A = this chain, B = another copy of it.
Amino acid sequence: MILITGASSGLGAALAQQYAEAGQDVVITGRNQQRLEAVKATNNKTQAIPADLTSPDSINSLINQLDIAPTTVIHCAGSGYFGQIQDQQPDDIIQLFNNNILSATLLLRELVARYRDQAVSVVVVMSTAALQPKGGESTYCAAKWAVRALVESVRQELKASKSPMKLIAVYPGGMATDFWNIEKDRDTTTFMSADEAAGMLIQALAGTEHGYISDITISRK
Contacts and interface: CB of A to CB of B under 8 A. Distances in A.
Interface of A: 56, 84-86, 88, 90, 93-94, 97, 101-102, 105-106, 108-109, 112-113, 116, 132-139, 141-150, 152-157, 159-160, 166, 171, 173, 190-193, 196-197, 199-200, 203-204, 206-221
Contacts of A152: 133, 141
A153 B134 contact: yes
Given A97-B97, A146-B145, A149-B133, A218 B210 contact: no
Contact of A149 (B86, B144, B206, B208): B144
This chain: copies in complex: 4
| Majority secondary structure of chain A interface residues (helix, strand, loop or mixed) | helix
A87 to B, nearest CB: 9
A217 B214 CA distance: 6
A142 B153 contact: yes
A101 B213 contact: no
Contact of A221 (B108, B112, B160, B212): B212
Contacts of A199: 208
Nearest to A172: B211
Given A84-B157, A90-B109, 17 more contacts: A85-B105, A85-B109, A86-B116, A88-B109, A97-B97, A134-B156, A138-B149, A138-B154, A138-B157, A142-B149, A171-B215, A193-B210, A204-B216, A207-B221, A211-B220, A212-B218, A216-B216
A147 to B, nearest CB: 7
B146 A85 contact: no
A191 to B, nearest CB: 7
